[in-house]
């Protein structure tokens, strides 16, 4: 059984690295920059629970040819590159191959399925944060696992993921799971604009109030679209915005699990800004804006967050205090009082 991680950045190298470190045959396909880094250092994989794994010489390629040998392909490219990935994979995959989209957003598996009609394509989700510490060192900084659409074709792979400490949690309805994850991922923009580690940012009420505003818009858009987010946390999704707005002392006591993250962990959007890469904000907050527009509602807070992140991509401000960002978002919301 050969597993190919296609678009192997931080998430792909972490997931694939743990599979490789525990006995699976894994080939990584990604960018030249990471190929050089990993060739020099290998992969060192740790997590917040104390795991420590090593892959001294992973097979990392910069061309798509290795996918022809793969039984299972894990697609971990950024959402903007999904259509291109589908085009590159088309015609290269062996009959009976399984493709899992481990990407942010709601529609990547659909895009891949359109371009890969002869193989099994399943939506998936990575429910934890990975910190790239440089020199091939990747740290799983929060709790969470791998979620995927239930399918009989996964039967031959579940043992490998279990052995790697990343069991596949299968769901009959991944749409609801993805919608719930998107609610949580709306914080990526807030975190990126704060310039702070996740734990420090979430410990401050003004930033949490910004996230709560974005989530309330998302819940309204979901309701208009007839979309029901799954319950991924101890609280139902509709309760989370109220929890976020509680005073810091109360929030810390009630929501300790939300703060159970590595003190240095940051969002992937912050990492993209730091590296000068285009972010996935269009597939996170922008997804809510599009959904709202398509179903007769508005999402001015999420629209403003998209605008601020786009400005930051061009060299604009990235160190908003919670109070400043909250004022900015309140001003945006007041422009659309309805």
Q: Is the dihedral of CA 95, 98, 101, 102 positive or negative?
A: negative
Confidence at residue 234, expressed as pLDDT on a 0 to 100 scale = 79
Confidence at residue 253, expressed as pLDDT on a 0 to 100 scale = 84
Q: Where are the alpha helices (DSSP H) in 27-169?
A: 32-41, 82-89, 108-115, 158-163
- Looking at residue 260, the DSSP 8-state letter turns out to be -
* CA pair distance 64, 93, nearest whole angstrom: 10
Q: Which residues of the chain have pLDDT under 50?
A: none
Confidence at residue 138, expressed as pLDDT on a 0 to 100 scale = 93
CA separation (Å) from 110 to 117, 172, 292?
10, 16, 20
**Which residues lie below 8 Å from residue 99, measured CB to CB, with a gap of 6+?**
72, 73, 75, 89, 93, 112, 116, 119, 120, 121, 122
Q: Which neighbouring-strand residues pair with 137?
A: 44
Confidence at residue 115, expressed as pLDDT on a 0 to 100 scale = 95
Residue 198 in contact with residue 259, Cβ under 8 Å?
A: no
Confidence at residue 337, expressed as pLDDT on a 0 to 100 scale = 56
What order of strands is seen across the sheet that includes strand 98-102?
A: 59-61, 25-29, 2-6, 72-75, 98-102, 120-126, 146-149, 168-171
- Looking at residue 263, the DSSP 8-state letter turns out to be T
Burial class (CB in 10 A: 0-12, 13-18, 19+), 19: buried
Strand pairing report for 43-47 and 72-75 = unpaired
Q: Containing H/E element for 77?
A: none
Closest CA to 197 of 271, 128, 250, 279: 271
Instruction: Give the number of residues written for the chain.
Output: 338
CA 172 from centroid of its chain's CA atoms = 20
What order of strands is seen across the sheet that includes strand 52-55?
A: 52-55, 43-47, 137-140, 130-132
CA separation (Å) from 309 to 63, 143, 244, 278, 335?
31, 26, 22, 10, 20
Confidence at residue 131, expressed as pLDDT on a 0 to 100 scale = 87
Q: What angle do CA 86, 89, 91 make, to 5 degrees?
A: 115
């Amino acid at each position: 059984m050969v597993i190919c991680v296609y678009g192997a950045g931080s998430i792909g190298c972490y997931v694939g690295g743990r599979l490789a470190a525990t006995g699976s045959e894994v080939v990584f396909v990604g960018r030249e920059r990471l190929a050089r880094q990993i060739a020099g250092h290998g992969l060192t994989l740790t997590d917040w629970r104390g795991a420590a794994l090593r892959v001294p010489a992973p097979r990392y390629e910069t061309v798509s040819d290795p996918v022809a040998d793969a039984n299972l392909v894990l697609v971990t490219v950024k959402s903007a590159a999904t259509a291109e990935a589908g085009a590159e994979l088309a015609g290269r995959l062996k009959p009976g191959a399984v493709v899992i989209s481990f990407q942010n957003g709601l529609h990547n598996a659909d895009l891949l399925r359109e371009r890969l009609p002869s193989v099994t394509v399943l939506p998936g989700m990575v429910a934890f944060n990975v910190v790239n510490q440089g020199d091939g060192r990747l740290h799983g900084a929060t709790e969470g696992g791998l979620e995927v659409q239930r399918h009989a074709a996964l039967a031959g792979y579940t043992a490998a993921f279990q052995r790697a400490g990343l069991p596949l949690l299968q769901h009959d309805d991944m749409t609801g799971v993805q919608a719930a994850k998107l609610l949580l991922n709306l914080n990526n923009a807030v975190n990126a604009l704060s310039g702070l580690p996740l734990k420090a940012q979430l410990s401050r009420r003004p930033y949490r109030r910004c996230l709560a505003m974005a989530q309330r818009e998302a819940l309204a858009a979901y309701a208009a679209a007839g979309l029901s987010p799954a319950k991924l946390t101890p609280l139902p999704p509709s309760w989370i915005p109220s929890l976020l707005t509680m005073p810091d002392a109360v929030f810390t006591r009630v929501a300790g699990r939300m703060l159970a993250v590595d003190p240095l962990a940051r969002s992937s959007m912050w990492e993209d800004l730091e590296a000068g890469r285009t972010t996935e904000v269009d597939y996170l907050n922008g997804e809510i804006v599009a959904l709202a527009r398509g179903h007769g509602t508005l999402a001015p807070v999420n629209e403003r967050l998209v605008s601020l992140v786009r400005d930051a991509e061009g060299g604009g401000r990235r160190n908003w205090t919670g109070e400043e960002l909250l004022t900015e978002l309140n001003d945006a919301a007041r422009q659309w009082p309805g």
